[in-house]
Structure 1
Amino acid sequence: MNLLPRQYRSIAYYPVMLAFLLIISGCQQSPKAIGTNEGGKVADGNIALPCKFGEDKTATNSSTNKSKIILTLDGSASMVGYAKDGNSRYVQTLKLLDRVSLAAPGGVEYARIDSGRNSIDRTEFQKSFGTGFYTGQSSKLADAFPDLKTAKGEQLIAVVTDLQPDDGDVNAVSKRMLEDYLKKDGYAVAIWGVRSEFDGKVYPPNNAPSYDFAGKASNGRPFYILLVGRYEAIAEFAKTIRSADESSLLKDRSHLTIFTADRTIASPSYLTASQDNLPKGISAPDSLSQDRFLMENGEQPIQFLEVDENSNPDKQSLKYTLKYQANPDTAIPTQLEPKYKVRKYNEEKDKPAFADSSNKSLVDISSSLVDDKLAVEMKFNPEKIDRGLYYITADLTARSIQAPAVWKEWDDGGKKDGSKTQGLNDFLSSLSINTTSVMKEKSPVVARLCYGIQRN
């Protein structure tokens, strides 16, 4: 049979078209999982693997702080020794606090505390630069912190005191701070200790016998600036004080610690994974795939681990050292607790997804915090990992906090040592306990660890 040219072209067209359709069909993208920020979106048909928080959970904007400064002075007789020298670090610090407070965007008010709390004007405040101001026969320190419900607008209360209330009950001061400030979102309390020249009598709490003490700045008697208010206000106030401290009054022989339940962390830390020193039978590829399904990190800090099917069944571990990103001057958490979220790819053709896994024992993470370093060890047991793809996030949450050890050197240990403060350790311990009690509800995230794991 003779075929016309057009018929030849028609017959040749079909195999070419069939091959083209097969190529198109093969090039259609399969769904894949892609790393995103928390709450991030991916293209339709793909699966999001949330890792980094969408925005800094603890970010603050101190430039908008307009808290009114309530500058409160302990007017009891136990403060006279600080003011006998009109140029002591104590007097100079009062003048520094006054200058900074006068320039505060929210304004300043002055108050005095002895047998109670009383508002004073600036003229009366300036009398504190001499000994005549300190005539009070008692120091009801807890009354320096009024209930927030009575406050008009945002306030930052700064109380200058020797931290020696007459009843000796520094826990009552800490409790007032807890109930009225620490329990409120975004609030903090701080203690700023400063050593100063002192020449006078020391009046211990609980009506114990007074004794004479004289000391220079190097071995002088500490006084304290107690700060309560929003964390942003305290941090900004401390920053401004340091910037305005041209005489370096507070550069040395002083110490500041801020106690806060939810502003300890400047930003969470994430994995900076290394492919070095991997356990036998474990590899760290750039992505994972199974039956044409692909997991990609999407430039998120996700570490992919591939476990060989013949991997040693003993527990394997990976160790990391991360930078602890704390807010300045905040007390460091002493206990971090991991909270796990484990999901497994379900492999359903019609509706692929990562579903919550009941197997919560795939990994076990422990950590320790020293200064600005966070040591993390991740252990996993290949024997308990079934074949498949997993996505695991572990949030290391702060569960307790304590004052830095340096403060122990400022406590007199029950001895008559005028260069130290009686009951300081009790006060700081109470602050730590109270802050910890609040942290158990708020649990700030110190670090988030994200893993994609494939078991062949």
Structure 2
Amino acid sequence: MKLTSDLKFQPGKIKSLVSLGAIAAISLLFGCSPSQQSISCPQPASTAEAATRLKQTSDLELSFLIDGTLSMQGYVNDLPDSRYSKTLRLMDSASSTGWNSANTKYYRFGTKKQPIDRETFLKAQLPVFYQSGSDFSTSRIDAALADPADNRLSLVVTDLYQKDADVRLVQNLLAQRYLEKGYAIGILAVKSEFKGTVYDVGISNQNFGYSTSGQTSRAFHPVYVMLLGSYGNINHFFDQLQRNGLNDVEHEFVIFSPQPVAEAAVLNANEIKTAPRKDILQPKSLNDGRLVVRKQQPEDPVQFLVVTKKTASQPTDVELPYRALKGVLPVEPTAIALTPTLEKYQSQSKQFQPSNTQGLQLTDWNVKDGSIRFKAKIQADQLESGIYRFQFDASPTDFIEPDWWKTWNATEGNLDGAKTHNLQPFLRGLRLRTAELMKQQKPVIARLCYAVQKK
């Protein structure tokens, strides 16, 4: 009653009271509205230069470099159709079928590199090619190496018989000229018929005669093609060799590159394999009353999780597809380093701020057979109420050695023509240099993004 009387006789005051009430109601309403955040999980950034080198170039400067020393003559002595000769023919055809435009040059090398024409190159299938005088008495692979370029591919054909000191020299030159400049090294290994002399074996540079006549391919003498250039051009040339018939020739192939993938694996809902858990919710958005978190795009590979104090700290097995670059050395399955970014939303700043929480841990990594496996363990008791953002970048730190490196390797004093002296130390040295670069560059093979709400 009193209130009615007051309102009736004081119209100005009534208007002021109504306005203030409306403003207070609106302020209360909007003051309690949660903030909005959209999050994504972008692929790790790479330089334009690195991305370009994963693709083949449209035009190519191609160099064939054939070891012209006497140790190579045994592949063609009375062997007109040896696997060595077949490989040379496959290389020649791949240069014309693989690119619309390829400027091809040919060289014979020993202690120095000698330009030759294609007609002379084709004579590498004949003994006369390897009878060229004192400049070709010793094989110096380092003399054949050229500086790399994005559109340049060098193919060095040799039996890899080098003095021990020369092995280290070639390793260092290959690493400095190619790997350290962002290029790759491919090694194609072929077992071929042989009838002749094997030179420069071991520290004492022994020679011995060897013939595969009447023997199975297990006794054939190894020959190697080093492919030097960008990963894209190496991989494309090898593809052409396979299409043209390389699979009919017993061979092994590997690419040394500190970049093992083109794109990192992510938590793609259509590909991730993980068992559902009743004590962990996986909603499409998060909302704790102060913050609403949504994906920037529906397809963004961010996994939303809601946990409570009742969520068990039992690890969950997670499996993702692993798409390694074709031909590259396989990474050591468990040699994985994690770079975490951990943040918690702060209502005062209305931003995510760095956190040192151990509430989400990814352990027990295993990368092999086309998949990445790990265990995701949420420790709810390590999380305060609120919303967290986690990003884990997984980078490999080492490679495994293919079995054939050891099988094809001859140790000191072993005069076995079916093997190559110093092969394993040579390839292992390249592996170690590649692994060192990988540790420095930290290529990301998996980027895992989570948004976690603790109730």
Q: Shorter-chain TM-score category? A: 0.7 to 0.9
2:63 alignment partner in structure 1: 70
How far the C-alpha of 1:394 sits from its partner, in A, is: 0.2
- Matched to 2:419, the amino acid is K
What is the rounded CA distance, in whole Å, between the counterparts of 1:82 and 1:154 in structure 2?
31
SS in 1 for 2:315: strand
- Paired residues of 1:402 and 1:429 also in contact (CA < 8 A): no
- Paired residues of 2:302 and 2:448 also in contact (CA < 8 A): yes
1:36 alignment partner in structure 2: 40
1:5 alignment partner in structure 2: none
- Paired residues of 1:75 and 1:133 also in contact (CA < 8 A): yes
Mapping of 1:162-173 within 5 angstroms? 162-167=159-164, 169-173=166-170
What is the rounded CA distance, in whole Å, between the counterparts of 1:431 and 1:230 in structure 2?
16
Mapping of 1:122-137 within 5 angstroms? 122-135=118-131, 136-137=136-137
How far the C-alpha of 1:301 sits from its partner, in A, is: 1.6
1:433 alignment partner in structure 2: 432
1:434/1:274 CA distance change after superposition, 3 Å:
closer
* Aligned: 1:92 with 2:96: no
What is the rounded CA distance, in whole Å, between the counterparts of 1:380 and 1:406 in structure 2?
42
1:420 alignment partner in structure 2: 419
1:383 alignment partner in structure 2: 381
Runs of 5+ unmatched residues, structure 2: 1-17
> Which stretch has the larger CA shift, 78-87 or 395-404?
395-404
1:193 alignment partner in structure 2: 189
1:109 alignment partner in structure 2: 105
Mapping of 1:267-286 within 5 angstroms? 267-272=263-268, 273=272, 276-278=275-277, 281-286=279-284
1:146 alignment partner in structure 2: 146
Deviations 1:131-190 (A, max 9, x none): 111133211122221344xx7x842110011111245632221211101110012x1001
1:177/1:360 CA distance change after superposition, 3 Å:
farther
1:80 to 73, 76, 98: 73
Deviations 1:392-414 (A, max 9, x none): 01010122224323332222344
What is the rounded CA distance, in whole Å, between the counterparts of 1:284 and 1:275 in structure 2?
12
1:330/1:192 CA distance change after superposition, 3 Å:
same
Normalising by structure 1, report the TM-score. 0.82
Deviations 1:211-264 (A, max 9, x none): 323255722111110011111211121122222x1xx334451111001112x2
- Matched to 2:62, the amino acid is I
What is the rounded CA distance, in whole Å, between the counterparts of 1:218 and 1:75 in structure 2?
24
1:447/1:361 CA distance change after superposition, 3 Å:
same
2:221 alignment partner in structure 1: 221
* Aligned: 1:174 with 2:177: no
- Paired residues of 2:320 and 2:373 also in contact (CA < 8 A): yes
Larger relative helix fraction: 2
How far the C-alpha of 1:276 sits from its partner, in A, is: 2.6
Count of aligned pairs between the two proteins: 417
What is the rounded CA distance, in whole Å, between the counterparts of 1:394 and 1:438 in structure 2?
21
SS in 2 for 1:183: helix
What is the rounded CA distance, in whole Å, between the counterparts of 1:441 and 1:265 in structure 2?
16
Runs of 5+ unmatched residues, structure 1: 1-13, 39-51
How far the C-alpha of 1:59 sits from its partner, in A, is: 4.7
1:211 to 172, 188, 209: 209
- Paired residues of 1:346 and 1:355 also in contact (CA < 8 A): yes
How far the C-alpha of 1:101 sits from its partner, in A, is: 2.7
Over the aligned positions, Cα root-mean-square deviation in angstroms equals 3.1
1:109/1:417 CA distance change after superposition, 3 Å:
same
1:231/1:54 CA distance change after superposition, 3 Å:
closer
What is the rounded CA distance, in whole Å, between the counterparts of 2:303 and 2:47 in structure 1?
21
